[in-house]
Amino acid sequence: MLPPVQRRAFLSTPIAALCAASMGAAKVKPAGKGRPIAVSSANGLETVKLAMDLVKKGHDPLDAAIAGVALVEADPNDHTVGLGGIPNEDGVVELDAAVMHGPTHGGGSVASLRNIKHPAAVARLVMKRTDHCLLVGEGALRFARAHGFPEENLLTEEARKIWLYWKETSSRNDDRIPPPADELDPEVRKFFGPDYVREYGTIHCSVLDTHGDLGCTTTTSGLYYKIPGRVGDSPILGAGLYLNNDVGTAGSTGRGEANLLNLSSFLAVEEMRRSGDKPLKDVLIECCKRIVATNRDKRLQDAKGRPNFNVNFYAIRKNGDFAGAALFAGPKMAVHDGDSARLVDCVPLFDEELKEI
């Protein structure tokens, strides 16, 4: 057994991440003849590369997606997913994740899970080793522990300092005193600095394999400084992801409450099914329009009555078409079309970028 410090370092490497994240994976079968596709959010370029590599070798499409996002779950520098995620208002990292598997139409998810770096892999075991779809909080942690997932502190020093600075500056009427500007940690300064645009993070990955089967996952640390126990769209089947193996797969990042109120990922897949051969980008723009139409709370509108937040969609049709869309311009998506991986623009509903308010 490695000493604790070395063991921790080992556990942070991608290979170790893959070991923990592979619990519950299916047996590899010979690859088929179809053209595989993998899509992800902008933080998923390495994710689609790994997922593609795996499906080309005959791995299950969901297992490929889970292995792909595990790279980001294990990355301490991504503050929106897994290790290094920005914590809740109490300084505790709470993770949400879900998976869906096309061939079985199975789904599993975990919410408000603490101390486990790979919630998407735990969600796969909820799907495979229980008769349920969703486990939360302490129950989800005990389930993960029982299946041998290693527990660790997910709050990195950098995320802790960011959280502390947020706490120290969030009220002028309490007893906390923020550090003098010249004593501010460089990483905290960068996080809150002028170049920083607070964006939603999270990672979604959808995969079409060489047999024409689909798998998808969404995994996140959720909103920064959220109320403990707040659960977003990511672990809710139909909201943060959905698939129908005969039709297509879709997932979303951005303001989770908007997706919860519209079951947007289900809407995307249903709209694909109902609309036949409607271009996929138009299907996703319909989902954006639905969010705009139902966003009736003035607190969530800009001066023109549009949402003052962004939501992004990523999708693959059963026939291999793929697309991304967003309410406002700017977001990109990662795509691997079997030949190469790249970032492409999500098609926006509104041509301008979201202005910070």
Under rule CB under 6 A, residue 202 binds ligand ASP: yes
Q: For residue 114, report the phi and psi dihedrals to the nearest 5 degrees.
A: -105, 155
Site size for ligand ASP (CB under 6 A): 13
Cα–Cα distance measured from residue 241 to residue 134, given in angstroms and rounded to the nearest whole number: 14
Residues 77-106 interacting with ligand ASP (rule: CB under 6 A): 80
- Catalytic one of 47, 80, 156, 202: 202
Position 220 contacts ligand ASP (CB under 6 A): yes
> Strand order in 95-101's β-sheet?
134-136, 106-113, 95-101, 214-220, 203-208, 37-41, 332-336, 341-345
Among 61, 68, 84, 222, binds ligand ASP (CB under 6 A): 222
Q: Which residues pair with 347 in a beta bridge?
A: 325
Are 243 and 102 in contact, with CB atoms under 8 Å apart? yes
**Best CA proximity match to 270, nearest among 292, 244, 251:** 244
Q: Is 47 a catalytic residue?
A: no
* Angle between helix 119-129 and helix 137-146 axes, rounded to 10 deg: 80
Stretch that binds ligand ASP, among 187-195, 231-239, 274-282, 340-348 (CB under 6 A): 231-239
Site string (239-278) toward ligand ASP, x via CB under 6 A: --------------xx-x----------------------
Q: Which is nearer to ligand ASP, 144 or 203 (CB)?
A: 203
Min separation Cβ 186 and ligand ASP, Å: 24
Told to check if 109 binds ligand ASP by CB under 6 A, we report: no
Per-residue HEC secondary structure of 310-332 comes to: CEEEEEEECCCCEEEEEEEECCE
The CB-of-199 to ligand ASP minimum distance in angstroms stands at: 8
Among 68, 84, 107, 201, binds ligand ASP (CB under 6 A): 201
200 binds ligand ASP (CB under 6 A): yes
Looking at the Cβ atoms of 238 and 256, the one nearer to ligand ASP is 256
Burial level of 295, CB count in 10 A (0-12/13-18/19+)? buried
Q: Determine if 217 is a binding residue for ligand ASP (CB under 6 A).
A: no
Cα–Cα distance, 253 to 333 (Å, whole number)? 11
Collapsing DSSP states into helix, strand and coil, what is residue 19? Answer: helix
Range in contact with ligand ASP (rule: CB under 6 A) among 60-68, 109-117, 174-182, 218-226: 218-226
C-alpha–C-alpha distance, residues 219 and 236, integer Å: 11
Q: Is residue 234 involved in binding ligand ASP (CB under 6 A)?
A: yes
Binding site for ligand ASP (CB under 6 A): 80, 200-202, 220, 222-223, 232-234, 253-254, 256
List residues with catalytic annotation. 202
